[in-house]
Amino acid sequence: MDYNEFIIKFEKIIYQEIQDSYPRYWQEDSITNSLLKRLEKEFHSLELELEGDNILRIDWQSYKATGTIENKLGDILVIVHYKDDENDHCLIGVSTLEAKRRYEAVDTFSAIKFEQLERITDNLPLSKLLLYDYEDNNNFHIPLDMKTKMVTLPAKICSTLEKKNLSLYNFSLPLSLQFVDRYFKALDLDFDESIISSVNEYINTKNLNGSFQFILTLHINKNGYYTGDRIGNTISISLDKYERVVDRAI
């Protein structure tokens, strides 16, 4: 699959998800769960061709919490394991996506809470907002002039500006491009060992309630080369607290 084909497929999944969700199932957790399921089914074992004869091989796995999450630090924890052919190590980085839907017949994402965003970025500084919109957004350059309905932006920008309206789109990137141009290149991720350790504790210790509703893991291998050890701490996922979104018998 090439770059443009990936984006087109990704945006079609987003379009279908919004069509199926709005207005009857227009709730963040419902949209997010269904979106992660669709994405994993389509891209669970992805081979992506990039410029310069580079190939990314990506294993895509998603999880959801089995119990109630209180004081969560983001809706989706993104964990990226990145290996390439230019060093002997595997980078492990994390970020979060905090999902907010646009409220019906208004121009605001009213559920945004600035105090919550500040708490999230205090723990994971590179965290982002993930905005769900029922209307098309054509302010971005996407292959075939496609429109999008899901964008990301740095959570810190939102809490600093204290804005909840459509002006947030001025600082946004389509979710499809957030993956292919950022996460797939190990960008917009925290690699600090203290952050990795804290994340590991949150998702594996039963008596801690500050955690994540969903987890997305991306194991990315650039050009099929890896002989070395991981850099820093590894992250494991407690199957007592999380279950797979998709049965791999797909």
DSSP secondary structure string, 78-132? EEEEEE-SSSSSEEEEEEEEEEEEPPTTSSB-TT--HHHHHHHHHHSTT-EEEEE
Q: Is residue 50 one of the residues assigned to a domain?
A: yes
202 within domain boundaries:
yes
- Measured in residues, the chain has a length of 250
Residue entry with tokens 């839907």: 101
What is the model's pLDDT at position 98?
98
Element (H, E) at 7: helix 3-21
**C-alpha triplet 25, 27, 30: angle, nearest 5°:** 75
Cβ count near 220 (within 10 Å): 22
Whether residue 249 lies inside any domain: the answer is: no
Q: What is the DSSP letter of 230?
A: B
Question: Is the separation of the CB atoms in 32 and 101 below 8 Å?
Answer: no
Residue 90: predicted pLDDT: 87
Residue 33 falls inside a structural domain: yes
Q: What is the pLDDT, as a whole number, of residue 226? A: 44
Residue 47: alpha-carbon gap to chain centroid = 19
- What does the pLDDT read at residue 44? 92
- The Cα–Cα gap between 138 and 187 comes to 24
Backbone angles phi, psi at 200, to 5 degrees: -60, -40
In a domain, 250, yes or no: no
Say what the pTM is: 0.93
Q: What is the pLDDT of residue 250?
A: 45
Q: What is the mean pLDDT of each run of 10 residues along the chain (250 residues)?
A: 95 97 96 98 94 90 87 92 83 96 94 96 97 91 81 98 97 96 97 94 72 93 62 76 81
Contact of 228 with 69, CB cutoff 8 Å: no
CA distance 6 to 16: 16
Angstrom distance (rounded) from CA 221 to CA 184? 10
Residue type for position 190: D
Coil/strand/helix, residue 80 = strand
Note down the domain range covering 114: 3-244
DSSP lists the bridge partners of residue 55 as: 49
Residue 225 lies in a domain: yes
Count of Cβ atoms closer than 10 Å to residue 53 Cβ: 7
Quote the number of domains for the chain.
Answer: 1
